[in-house]
Structure 1
Amino acid sequence: MTIMTQSTSSLLFLGKAEDPDCARALEYCQQHFLHVTYCLGKWGDPLPEDIRNWEGDYIISYLSRWVVPESLLNRAKIAAINFHPASPEYPGIGCNNFALYEDAKEYGSTCHHMAGKVDTGRIIKVRRFPVHPEDGVEEILQRTYENQMALFFEIAELMAAGKELPVSTEIWTRPPFSRKQFDELFRITPDMSADEVRRRVRAISYKQWQPYVEIHGYRFEYVGGK
């Protein structure tokens, strides 16, 4: 049985508001680090000015809604790391959607050092899982978050124990996907092949987020069918 003592390191935790996984991750940090500053937010929330002036040992970004400015990253004396809900083949926004669109056979979660440009920092560790042909957005998201949570506990335990972080041989394989590329996935036009439509519908359809059909500049709800 391993008994963990509380680390005296200081830590800044940035996460998503009203998210159970973020709450679990933050609780772990508060139990295992003596000095924890945290900020939870939603899309569009500004990063508080007092957070920008934080100084300490570690920064952890877990499903954070902010692009962390490089000036703040530089204030972390030991490491500033992010838990990205995708494998290195899918940096940026809409990563699970692009994996489904490309009929990926494998997906995962990545822990990496943060750099000035999003999803470009050195990779610490990756957890992967298979993607099945019948999987949609809901299924892949569930397994992604399960693996990301497991990866967090593995890496955070090393940090709390003062141990060195792993160094992965994996690298990011392409530039981060942009908001423009993600928004384009929603659009279906009459000239698209049946396979192209299938891939877009699979990649995007989730709860209130659905593709649309565009004809001569007009948008119509996509109903589906064969």
Structure 2
Amino acid sequence: MKPRAVVFAYHNVGVRCLQVLLARGVDVALVVTHEDSASENIWFGSVASVAAEHDIDVVTPADPKAPELFDAVNRIAPDFIFSFYYRHMLPVDLLALAKRGAYNMHGSLLPKYRGRVPTNWAVLHGETETGATLHEMAAKPDAGAILAQTPVPILPDDTAAEVFEKTTVAAEQTLWRVLPALIAGEAPHLPNDLAAGSYFGGRKPEDGRIDWSRPAQQVYNLIRAVAPPYPGAFTDIGGERFIVAQARLVPESGTRAIPAEFVRTVSNLPAGLTVADNALFGVCGDRRVIAIRELRHRAADGSADPAGGERVVSPAEFGRITQTSRHS
């Protein structure tokens, strides 16, 4: 007899892990997901669409503590409850309805980076590795026993979006590998030593503000951690907002395209965004330089750019906009 599950899921990890359950023969009786927000950049796959393709009932409650949801899950009497990038903590009484356990897929190598947006935090802190962990759900977030993990590298120039793509594959591989043992009642439940790990909360768009007085590696990590499709690292000049969408940390020894002598000249300019030799650079507090490969403009008050929304600007346009802003 197929094991029966209720699945709470969203985003690409939700899509891929739901597909793994179906491919492994799990009877998914109900999918609980989120309504897409009109204010959010929806750049990821739809769990609801995957469920619809497989004739699975879908609900989108605003609150997972709703009595109606509890009653619906109770009627299903699931063997398992799974959470794959669902954005709310599930109440303990709901988890207890799963006769054979409730499990969550988290985007880090627990116990490191418990909590919200773990991929972005890992890139921000300059980590060289992260991954995906399937763990038992408990009253505290990401605190239950660990069943399986899959690591992925974070390369020096990876953005959070690029790392998230790797983490999505790692989540799929983790679930695929451990699911047969979990169904057979033979999956390991390893200690999750919270004292050896870390917890981080959510991030807001304002957290992307660049402090050019910081060392260049820290600034570059911030740029990578929130690069599009996330809101982006930004700096305000006058009444104008500039978002650093793509950049590269320039070696102190320079490169073929940016010779060391030129780097030394630029590094002596004031900290912040600057134009040199018709190219955009960011000068940081330790006098190291970041080459800006794509700069976007939006008015600092959030109103649209006169040319129509957020748009890429050239070094010359940047100079004209900031000159006008400073003299207006």
Q: TM-score range by the shorter chain?
A: 0.7 to 0.9
Instruction: Indicate if the aligned counterparts of 1:112 and 1:125 stay in contact, CA closer than 8 A.
Output: yes
Q: How far 1:138 moved relative to its partner?
A: 2.6
Confirm whether residue 159 of structure 1 aligns to residue 154 of structure 2.
no
Instruction: Indicate if the aligned counterparts of 1:17 and 1:42 stay in contact, CA closer than 8 A.
Output: no
Aligned to 2:127: 104
Structure with greater contact order relative to length (CA < 8 Å, sep ≥ 6) = 1
Cα shift readout 1:116-142 (whole Å, capped 9, x = no counterpart) = 121111222111122221222232111
Q: What letter matches 1:32 in structure 2?
A: V
Q: State the alpha-carbon separation in 1 of the partners of residues 36 and 89 from structure 2.
A: 11
Cα shift readout 1:170-208 (whole Å, capped 9, x = no counterpart) = 53433431125x656412124323232112111111225
Confirm whether residue 130 of structure 1 aligns to residue 124 of structure 2.
no
Q: What letter matches 1:28 in structure 2?
A: A
Instruction: Indicate if the aligned counterparts of 1:87 and 1:128 stay in contact, CA closer than 8 A.
Output: yes
Q: State the alpha-carbon separation in 1 of the partners of residues 240 and 81 from structure 2.
A: 43
1:78 aligned counterpart, secondary structure = coil
Q: State the alpha-carbon separation in 2 of the partners of residues 112 and 205 from structure 1.
A: 29
Q: State the alpha-carbon separation in 1 of the partners of residues 243 and 26 from structure 2.
A: 49
Q: How far 1:151 moved relative to its partner?
A: 0.9
Instruction: Indicate if the aligned counterparts of 2:227 and 2:233 stay in contact, CA closer than 8 A.
Output: yes
Aligned to 1:201: 223
Mapping of 1:23-172 within 5 angstroms?
23-28=18-23, 31-33=25-27, 36-42=29-35, 46=62, 47=64, 49-53=67-71, 54-55=73-74, 56=77, 57-88=79-110, 89-160=112-183, 162-169=184-191, 171-172=193-194
Confirm whether residue 222 of structure 1 aligns to residue 243 of structure 2.
yes
Report the TM-score when normalising by structure 2: 0.58
Q: Which has the larger radius of gyration?
A: 2
Q: What letter matches 1:220 in structure 2?
A: R
Q: What letter matches 1:15 in structure 2?
A: A
Q: State the alpha-carbon separation in 1 of the partners of residues 229 and 94 from structure 2.
A: 35
Q: Runs in 1 of length 4+ with deviation above 6 angstroms?
A: none
Note the aligned Cα RMSD (angstroms).
2.8
Structure-2 change in CA distance of 1:139 and 1:183 (3 Å) = same
Q: What letter matches 1:140 in structure 2?
A: V
Cα shift readout 1:8-62 (whole Å, capped 9, x = no counterpart) = x432111116864144135336x333x7332222467513643223233211111
Aligned to 2:286: none
Instruction: Indicate if the aligned counterparts of 1:111 and 1:151 stay in contact, CA closer than 8 A.
Output: yes
Structure-2 change in CA distance of 1:171 and 1:128 (3 Å) = farther
Cα shift readout 1:128-161 (whole Å, capped 9, x = no counterpart) = 122221222232111111110011122322233x
Match of residue 178, structure 1, among 193, 198, 201: 201
User: Which residues of structure 2 form unaligned runs of 5+?
Assistant: 38-60, 248-280, 282-289, 291-328
Q: How far 1:108 moved relative to its partner?
A: 0.7
Q: What letter matches 1:16 in structure 2?
A: Y
Instruction: Indicate if the aligned counterparts of 1:186 and 1:211 stay in contact, CA closer than 8 A.
Output: yes
Q: How far 1:163 moved relative to its partner?
A: 2.1
Aligned residues: 215
Q: State the alpha-carbon separation in 2 of the partners of residues 77 and 59 from structure 1.
A: 9
Aligned to 1:12: 6
Q: What letter matches 2:229 in structure 1?
A: K
1:117 aligned counterpart, secondary structure = coil
Instruction: Indicate if the aligned counterparts of 1:16 and 1:22 stay in contact, CA closer than 8 A.
Output: no
Instruction: Indicate if the aligned counterparts of 2:17 and 2:171 stay in contact, CA closer than 8 A.
Output: no
Q: State the alpha-carbon separation in 2 of the partners of residues 69 and 187 from structure 1.
A: 35
Q: State the alpha-carbon separation in 1 of the partners of residues 200 and 223 from structure 2.
A: 19
Q: State the alpha-carbon separation in 1 of the partners of residues 127 and 11 from structure 2.
A: 30
